[in-house]
Amino acid sequence: MTSIIFKKVLSRRLAVQALYQWQLNEQPIDKIIEEFKSSKLYTNIDAEYFAYLLTNIDSKFEELKKMIEKASNLSWGRIQPVEKGVILIGVLELQSGILDPHITINECVELSKHFGSEDGYKFINGVLDSIKSNL
Encode pLDDT of 24-70 as tens digits. Answer: 998 999 999 999 999 888 999 999 999 999 999 999 999 999 999 99
Count the Cβ atoms, other than its own, within 10 Å of residue 107. 20
* DSSP assignment letter at 80: -
pTM over 0.75: yes
**Segment 74-129, tens digit of pLDDT:** 899 999 999 999 999 999 999 999 999 999 999 999 999 999 989 999 999 999 99
pLDDT at 69: 94
pLDDT at 95: 96
**CATH assignment of 4-134, given 1.10.940.10, 3.40.1030.10, 2.30.30.30, 3.30.70.870?**
1.10.940.10
pLDDT at 22: 96
Q: What is the 3-state secondary structure (H, E, C) of 17-49?
A: HHHHHHHHHCCCHHHHHHHHCCCHHHHHCCHHH
